[in-house]
Every structure is written in structure tokens, then in C-alpha cells.
Amino acid sequence: TVMDAVVAYGTPLIEDPARIGPVTALGLDETLFARTGRWRTQQWCTSIVDVGSPSQLLDVIPGRTAAASTAWIERQPAGWRARIAWGVLDLSGPYRKTFTDALGHATQVADPFHVVKLANSKLDECRRRVQQDTLGHRGRRTDPLYRSRRLLTKGHERLDDAGEAKLVGLLEAGDPRGEVRLAWHAKETVRGIYTIDDPAEADRFVAELADDMTDPDHPIEVRSLGRTLRRWHGQIVAWHRARVSNGPTEALNNLIKRIKRIGFGFRRFAHYRLRVLLYAGRPNWDHLN
């Protein structure tokens, strides 16, 4: 009964054409809608967000494919699409294709958080591989590399003298070939991309960094990171001109998850979309009769 009332009164609010205003920076990101069936199959959806100031959740669409998000963008007026100058995304192939196909004039921007997150994940992969190679088992509480896992993910500037000395000692004890140390330096260097102010200097830095990381003598994880930097070079460097990120998208995803917790999950996507947009889509409540 309550949901029937929400549908009756809420649908006109979220379908109000004036709810979506002009957008200059558009962000795409995925969220988990539900787990369904016997095997708890994951059903994903895509959040479409105005990442400008103030940010706004524009819509939520089922799936995380390029076709679904491209179709949504192409349904919008041509004038609205023409105003979009920046397309912000994580390192996602489908969303990259969406911006290429539907907003070819917009400059794509790789989200800095996800670039650094990738560097951290490659570092962790290297640590776990070296752990297996040297000791033949997964990390245990007394193993040097396992004990170093938290220190490795911290920014170097956040380590005090005692923390840095502890990290160096653990790497000397558990990393005989220096592979984890090299992956750690690679991660810190990737973080350094975002301390550069000049876009031209950042362009040169990323190109040289990608070439250095793909050296055959480097660990396989570092080479993989270097290839990713090379493939996404333009999107990574574009941040230095745009200064926009998917931070607002992640914040709105948190609001979406709050609605899921309050509702103890949803089975109908239409109800899920309605509740989410009423909460985070900034409807005009003056239209409510």
C-alpha cells in the first residue's frame, strides 16, 4: 500500500523534465542492484551523475554495459548533450565505449582514485605472489610480507621514521629479489602523478612512467600496471585540465546503498529506481500535490 502511494505521487517528480538541468561533467559508475536466483547471481546497474557542483544523481539504469548507458545518453536532447565537456569514468571499457560513441566531443577523464587503487592492487598481487614463491604458502601472521601489507598501502608521507624503518626491515626479510619493493615504488610514483600541476609536464611524466614500468626486467605486476597507464594515458592526463573526478558519484552511490539497507533490498528495479531518485535525484517537491 505504501509503495503504491510512492509510485503514484513520486513518478511525476522523477520524470519531471526540468529535474535534469544543464551538465558539463558527466560521471558513470556501477552499483550492485540485487543478488537473485539460487546461485545469488549479481544484478548490476549504472549510476549516471552530474559530477559538477552541486552534484546530482540523474538516473539509474539496469546493467553496466555500453549499450544501456549509450542509449540513455542518446535519448537526451541534442543541446543537453552538446554542453557536456567532460566524461568521468573509472578504468572501465564499457563506459569508455559509451563516451566514445555517445559523447565523442567530450574529453574522457580517468578517476584518480581508481588509478591509485589499481596501483595498490598490483602491489598487493606482487606481495602475495612473492609470498607464495618464497615460502610456498599464503601469508601467515608471522610472515614478514604479510606483516607489511598495511604499511605498503599507506602513502609514504604518512609513514613516520619508525614505520618506514619497520617497512624496510620487513621487505629485507621477506623480499629477497626486491620485487615487492619495486612494486611499492611504482605505486608511490603513480600517486605522484596527481601532485603535478602543469598538464604538459604530467603528459610527459605519464608517458615516461609507462615506458619505464614495461621494462622486461620488472615484475609482471609492474609491467601490467605500465601497460594500463599506456592504454589510459589520455584519460589520466586529462584530469590535470578538468580537475573533476567520480568522487560525487561514489558519494551518491553511498546514498543509494542507504536506500537499499532501509528497504532491506529490492526485487523490482522500477521501485528501486523510484526510491533512489526521490532520495538522491533532487526532485522539485513543489510539484507534489
Residue 53 has pLDDT above 90, yes or no: no
Residue 289 has pLDDT above 90, yes or no: no
**Contact status, residue 86 vs residue 64, Cβ threshold 8 Å:** no
CB neighbourhood size of 269 (10 A): 16
- pLDDT > 70 in the chain, percent: 100
Q: What is the pLDDT of residues 246-261, one digit of tens each?
A: 999 999 999 999 999 9
Amino acid at 218: H
Average pLDDT over residues 60-66: 96
Report the amino acid identity of residue 177.
R
Mean pLDDT for the chain? 95
Q: What is the mean pLDDT of residues 129-156?
A: 95
pLDDT at residue number 285:
93
Tell me the average pLDDT across 153-169.
94
What is the rounded distance in angstroms from the CA atom of residue 159 to the CA atom of residue 151?
A: 8
CB 86 within 8 A of CB 26: yes
Residue range 83-96: average pLDDT?
96
Decide if 74 contacts 85 (C-beta within 8 A).
no
**Mean pLDDT across 220-243:** 97
CB 33 within 8 A of CB 269: yes
**b/e map of 229-250 (b: 16 or more CB within 10 Å)?**
bbebbebbbbbbebebbbebbb
Coil, helix or strand at residue 278: helix
What sign does the CA torsion over 63, 81, 259, 13 have? negative
pTM of the model: 0.92
Residue 56: enclosing H or E segment and its boundaries?
A: strand 56-62
Nearest in space to 118 (alpha carbons), one of 174, 198, 190: 190
Q: Is 184 helix (H, G, I), strand (E, B) or coil?
A: helix
| Helix axis angle, 269-280 to 2-14, nearest 10° | 60
The predicted-structure confidence for 92-128, as pLDDT tens digits, reads as follows 999 999 999 999 999 999 999 999 999 999 999 999 9
The answer to whether 236 touches 207, Cβ cutoff 8 Å, is: no
Integer Cα distance of 145 and 184 in angstroms: 12
pLDDT higher than threshold 80 for residue 220: yes
Interval 227-254 mean pLDDT? 96
List phi, psi (to 5°) of 31.
-140, 155
**Residue 19 — very low, low, confident or very high, per pLDDT cuts 50/70/90?**
very high
Average pLDDT score over residue span 75-82: 96
Longest dimension (CA), the chain: 71
Q: What is the pLDDT of residue 265?
A: 86
Question: Phi/psi of residue 208, each to 5°?
Answer: -65, -35
What is the H or E stretch that residue 61 is in?
strand 56-62
| Confidence band, pLDDT 50/70/90 cuts, at residue 288 | confident
* pLDDT attached to residue 47: 97
Instruction: Report the length, in residues, of the chain.
Output: 289
What's the pLDDT score for residue 275? 96
